[in-house]
Amino acid sequence: MKVTGVIQAGGQSTRMGGRPKALIELGGRPIIERVVAALAPAVDAMLVVTNTPELYAFLELPMIADVYPDHGSLGGIYSGLKAAAGQAALTVACDMPFLHPEIVKLVASRAGEGDVVIPRVGTRLETMHAAYGKACLSPIAERLVAGQLKIVDFFARVRVVEIAEADVARFRDPRVAFMNVNTPDELERARALATELG
């Protein structure tokens, strides 16, 4: 199965004072470069969903704008999946500095098993580190048109396969692997972790 890696870089970064989170340096390079490095070995192609393509031109990746602007992460998932050349889009957030290539490969390798293949950590489904198949397009579009933007709400309409926390933890602590850098406090924690992890 062909899997396209989709990096979501459409957020407003309001909790970071409007500074694009993806471009913040961590361990000597922008967070988004770390994301690209973790994603690249596991997917057949990559693209970036962004409404500010000039900021990410240095990545030399295809970029697409939101089909439904201002429709949050669900809108970004839809846009990336619609544009994906493969049968599935492995969607990740642009502000996850500790993505692990083996965890990405684990999700990508199971992408054909369901319409959504998604890690579960405790009670939380990692919606921004999941593979979405083309069968998700129609139920997502219905939600977007209705203004219902909670990602998991369309899951009842598709086949969802969960990846157990223990399977993720073989490679890296899930709380680290799926960590987002949304606030200055989280950035400080990430800087300390980056030093620790080398």
14 has a pLDDT exceeding 90: no
26 has a pLDDT exceeding 60: yes
Nearest to 100 by CA among 174, 26, 44, 162: 174
Each residue's pLDDT tens digit, 162-186: 999 999 999 999 999 999 998 889 9
Average pLDDT, the chain: 94
Side-chain-facing half-sphere of 170: CA atoms under 13 Å: 12
Question: Residue 47: its pLDDT value, please?
Answer: 98
197 pLDDT band (50/70/90 cuts)?
confident
Terminal C-alpha separation, the chain: 34
Q: What is the CATH number of the domain that holds 161?
A: 3.90.550.10
Residue-range definition of the domain harbouring residue 121 = 3-197
146 has a pLDDT exceeding 70: yes
Dihedral over Cα of 101, 106, 107, 112: its sign: positive
61 touches 160 (CB < 8 A): no
Distance CA 165, CA 172 (A): 10
- DSSP state, residue 92: E
Q: How many domains does the chain have?
A: 1
